Structure 1
Amino acid sequence: MSEKWTVSEPQKITFGEPVHRVKVRTMAGAVNVVAGEGPARLEVSEVDGLPLEVALVDGELEISYEDLHWKDFQWKALGRWIEGLRQKRRAVVSLVVPAEVDVEIGSASSDAIVSGIAGRVHANSASGGLTLVRVSGQVDANTVSGAVEAHETSGGLKINTVSGALTVFAGTSGALKANSVSGAMTVDLDRPAAADVELTNISGEVAVRIPAPADAQVRADTTSGSISSSFDQLQVSGMWGAKRITGTLGAGTSRVKITTVSGSVAVLRRPDEDDAPQADTPQDATPLAIDFQKGADEA
């Protein structure tokens, strides 16, 4: 079965056919994909410039411009994304879909939010940010300068950025593998740590907070950046040039590996919940903030 729409003004569409896969390609604006009950629904609340083309074919829903394809949003084709910004295109797209759908998002500068999805999520962006909320499927995200935030995800994260920051909030579990050139990485691990974490950076600052009591093998290396640890069980070695943190916390059933060239590294201890001070708002409601100039002990 095949259905098609051309959207040149704000419009709402409810799809009669089940949706199993979603593909969204936009230039500027916003993309929101949320898991929900009932038939899949689309709301385009803003559309400027060229109209959006919407097609639902055999359960695959695609929202894009006529001249944009997924290959235009691949990691090696970033220059062509930015060239496309010369033509004014802006759209605000919101989707409610079944939780088990697979989601692909490609954008130049659209900010994207994906919430409650249990299928695979693949996102490519030049400068648009990506926020993941309670996503239990595997995530593969690539950005140039867009920031990535993960809240209570559990399916595993694979993140690549050039200068975009990565923030992983407490409550997130699953394997994490992230690479960046200069984007800061702030990772607040859940307890118990159930999967491996591997962070690689060139000049960006990296801060990882591990819950106590902890259960991880830890290794952090930097060629010329500063390094610090809040755990007595971890050994800090190297005074000049290359520095390293190594050691095992608890049974060491998971692995935390950090590698930078000139970026600062801080491995911090998050107190046990019973020891943490009581507050009206949850401690994990805000991201971990580290002042690398003052050192990890003050953080």
Structure 2
Amino acid sequence: MAEWSVAEPRKLAFDAPVATLRVRVVNGTVNVVGTEEGSARLEVSEIDGTPLTVTHKDGTLSVAYDDLPWKNFLTWLDPGSWRRDAVVSLAVPAGTRVEVGVVGAAATVSGIEGPVEVKGVTGDTTLVGLSGRLRAETVSGSLEAQGITGDLRFTSASGDLTVVEAVGSAVRADSVTGSLVVDLDPAGSPPDIALTTVSGEIAVRLPHPADAEVEVDTTTGSVSNAFEGLRISDQWGAQRLTGRLGSGGGRLKATTVSGPIALLRRPPTEEGPYDDDPLDTPLDATAPDDDPSNGPTHKKVL
């Protein structure tokens, strides 16, 4: 096993294979990018406080604090240990399995084809161009994802989820007060979406024409719908929207207690009779229609 203690800015290169990457930091920034190279590179450009321990053993590269375990990571709330800052950037082979834990740090992962798992307390996460299975769990940190093709599972207490141009077919998300916004790329397969919040907002933008069985429920919130052929019922304040779009090859299920739900429609990919249809609605005010500059971007550090 090779081991380094990093207490000041430093660069390291690893010639031995890296199959798994594990990063756990407190505050600062983590950037992970997948490359076609067979080796891995690490740059710690800023560090303040406790040194980071870097180990490389049996194909696993770890960059972490010794007292910050992966198990029960989200319960690690020692205020005296939060005074640690590091800016960590890594380039690893695209097929690497990536595990990132951040307390207050921001994390960006891009270009990875292997599975990715992120845990965060208050830190926000950005995922760009990932094709493996994705798992993210936060307390209040938000997650932004763009151009993902792998299945996504997101769980948070109050963090928001924003997914833009998703090609993957499965999105599962649960939040108590956070908002859940999902935009599907027309090139993707029929969707398999299940979203649940208590008081957060839900917005889903489907390709037009869409292909899904729809089941939308809110107890005291409101429902808005841009598709014909769906039935809405209202009983004792609760609203329910159901029906089939296209052949019903996909599935969309969205549930809130008091949050509003919006089912939006992407413009047709080719010119047609709906080009000027007002129901072809932008996803939201911060992510105008087909403008990737308003989605998450990756700042390549290495």
- 8 Å contact kept, 2:207–2:266: yes
How far apart, in 2, do the equivalents of 1:194 and 1:272 lie?
Answer: 16
What is the identity, as a one-letter code, of the residue corresponding to 1:58? D
Q: Which residue is 1:62 aligned to?
A: 62
The 3-state SS of whatever aligns with 2:33 is strand
Q: What is the TM-score with the length of structure 2 in the denominator?
A: 0.88
- 8 Å contact kept, 1:170–1:284: no
How far apart, in 2, do the equivalents of 1:190 and 1:218 lie?
Answer: 18
The 3-state SS of whatever aligns with 2:78 is helix
Change (3 A) 1:126 1:59: same
Q: Which residue is 1:296 aligned to?
A: none
- 8 Å contact kept, 2:212–2:245: yes
Q: Which residue is 2:266 aligned to?
A: 270
Aligned pair 1:283/2:270, yes or no?
no
Deviations 1:250-273 (A, max 9, x none): 011010000111110011111102
Q: Which residue is 1:138 aligned to?
A: 133
Q: Which residue is 2:211 aligned to?
A: 215
Deviations 1:178-219 (A, max 9, x none): 000010111111224434000011000001111101111111
How far apart, in 2, do the equivalents of 1:47 and 1:254 lie?
Answer: 47
Aligned pair 1:128/2:123, yes or no?
yes
- 8 Å contact kept, 2:148–2:165: no
Offset at residue 239 of structure 1 (A): 5.5
Equivalence map 1:43-54=2 (5 Å):
43-54=43-54
How far apart, in 2, do the equivalents of 1:99 and 1:43 lie?
Answer: 18
The 3-state SS of whatever aligns with 2:61 is strand
- 8 Å contact kept, 1:153–1:174: no
Equivalence map 1:95-134=2 (5 Å):
95-134=90-129
Change (3 A) 1:282 1:264: closer
What is the identity, as a one-letter code, of the residue corresponding to 2:89? S
Equivalence map 1:174-253=2 (5 Å):
174-191=169-186, 192-238=188-234, 240-253=236-249
Change (3 A) 1:248 1:85: farther
Offset at residue 72 of structure 1 (A): 3.9
How far apart, in 2, do the equivalents of 1:106 and 1:85 lie?
Answer: 18
How far apart, in 2, do the equivalents of 1:260 and 1:220 lie?
Answer: 9
How far apart, in 2, do the equivalents of 1:231 and 1:282 lie?
Answer: 17
Offset at residue 286 of structure 1 (A): 5.2
How far apart, in 1, do the equivalents of 2:51 and 2:198 lie?
Answer: 41
How far apart, in 2, do the equivalents of 1:4 and 1:14 lie?
Answer: 13
The 3-state SS of whatever aligns with 2:265 is strand
Offset at residue 144 of structure 1 (A): 1.1
What is the identity, as a one-letter code, of the residue corresponding to 1:234? L
Q: What is the TM-score with the length of structure 1 in the denominator?
A: 0.89
What is the identity, as a one-letter code, of the residue corresponding to 2:106? D
What is the identity, as a one-letter code, of the residue corresponding to 2:247? A
How far apart, in 1, do the equivalents of 2:81 and 2:42 lie?
Answer: 27
Deviations 1:229-282 (A, max 9, x none): 0111111110642111101000110100001111100111111022458xxx97
Change (3 A) 1:282 1:240: closer
The 3-state SS of whatever aligns with 1:170 is strand
Change (3 A) 1:133 1:87: closer
Q: Which residue is 2:254 aligned to?
A: 258
Deviations 1:66-104 (A, max 9, x none): 21211141xxxx34x222554411111100000111011
- 8 Å contact kept, 2:161–2:179: yes
What is the identity, as a one-letter code, of the residue corresponding to 2:56? L
How far apart, in 2, do the equivalents of 1:169 and 1:34 lie?
Answer: 19
Q: Which residue is 1:173 aligned to?
A: 168
Of 268-277 and 149-158, more deviation after overlay is shown by 268-277
Residue ranges of structure 2 left out of the alignment (5+ in a row):
277-287, 296-302
Aligned pair 1:163/2:158, yes or no?
yes
Q: Which residue is 1:17 aligned to?
A: 16
How far apart, in 2, do the equivalents of 1:220 and 1:287 lie?
Answer: 27
